Amino acid sequence: MKALLSAALTLAVLTGCAAQAPEPTATSAGKDPQEANEVKWKLERAKADCMKKKGFKYIPFVMAGPAETETQKRMAAGDYAATKEFRTKYGYQVFAQYIYPNDSASGALVTEEFGEDPNSKVAMNETQFNAFKSAKNACSTKAFKAVLNADVKDPLDVLKLQRDLSGRLTARRLDGDAELVKLAVTFGDCLKAKGYPITSLKPTDLAKRGETATYAEIDKLGPGSSGSSPDLTAAQAKPHFAKEVKDALDDLECGKEFYARFSPIYTAIRQEVKAQIPL
């Protein structure tokens, strides 16, 4: 589930401690996803060389993940029709995960699409595993320094680096955008008129309002057997999902002009962060 994945990443960030990531350079900002992926492979190859010197066999592995659909690409560019199509089917990708559990576009975690790390198949006892893990952490740190000139004390620090860089770019390019700030007022007034509570008109807060509210609703249902997201059948999730879709479509109609400007900038920031600090 997306909620479980988000929680895991959040925990990883909170447990990390890292130096501040540099702002994207002209070359890193211009990298496309394929180039950013190549950097990941460089990191993995550097890690494998380091592990070999320490006496361990490590097979370079880069996690794949779901491919972005054409609708999602258009939506990321701020296309209204594509966004409406997507939200009509998936809402905010919260309760949609229960309706379409095998469709990653719903926000569901479809593990088959990420690939399997070949290093996880190696049989080791506890002592060997601890030694392997220690060597891998040390080699990850060395690889990031060699390939990206990034100082990290632990591989999980990369999440902190990404979050910090994203936060700085977001504050300047989205929340600091005068046109978006102006559009946010109209957007917020429209939502208020439809009965939605608005606690902040900051562009980034307004853009995630609906998703945040929907996750708050799912939290009220309590944890499931996994200790995180509740265990719901599609039938049980359906009324919640209907509410989610209505919210998502109302949100889009009120924010039509807002998202046309917000989405391309947000997408560019995500691409820059991934290019600068691949994970």
Q: Find out whether 230 and 218 touch, Cβ atoms under 8 Å.
A: yes
Judge whether 13 lies within some domain: no
Judge whether 38 lies within some domain: yes
pLDDT score for 156: 76
Chunked into runs of 10 residues, the chain (279 residues) has average pLDDT values of: 38 30 36 68 95 95 88 96 98 97 93 87 90 93 89 80 93 97 98 97 98 94 77 96 98 98 96 83
The dihedral over CA atoms of 23, 28, 32, 33, expressed in degrees to the nearest 10, equals -70
Judge whether 191 lies within some domain: yes
| Residue 18: strand pairing partners | 152
Judge whether 15 lies within some domain: no
pLDDT score for 31: 44
Judge whether 57 lies within some domain: yes
CA 120 to chain CA centroid, Å, is 24
Gap between the Cα atoms of 257 and 224, Å rounded: 39
pTM confidence score: 0.78
Judge whether 14 lies within some domain: no
Judge whether 16 lies within some domain: no
> Of all helices (H) and strands (E), which one includes residue 138?
helix 126-148
Q: Given the structure tokens 């589930």, which residue do they identify? A: 1
Phi-psi label, residue 78: left if phi above 0, alpha if psi -120 to 50, beta otherwise: left
Angle between helices 80-90 and 256-276 (to 10 degrees): 90
Write 4-7 long-range contacts (CB < 8 A, 24+): 4/109, 4/226, 4/228, 4/229, 5/109, 7/228
pLDDT score for 188: 98
pLDDT score for 155: 63
Gap between the Cα atoms of 181 and 159, Å rounded: 28
Total domains in the fold of the chain: 1
Gap between the Cα atoms of 248 and 208, Å rounded: 11
pLDDT score for 278: 78
Gap between the Cα atoms of 145 and 43, Å rounded: 10
* 73 half-sphere exposure, CB direction, 13 A CA radius: 6
pLDDT score for 120: 86
The dihedral over CA atoms of 198, 200, 204, 207, expressed in degrees to the nearest 10, equals 10
Q: Find out whether 174 and 266 touch, Cβ atoms under 8 Å.
A: yes
Domain containing 181 equals 2-8+21-276
pLDDT score for 237: 96
pLDDT score for 36: 67
Judge whether 202 lies within some domain: yes
Farthest-apart Cα atoms in the chain, separation: 66
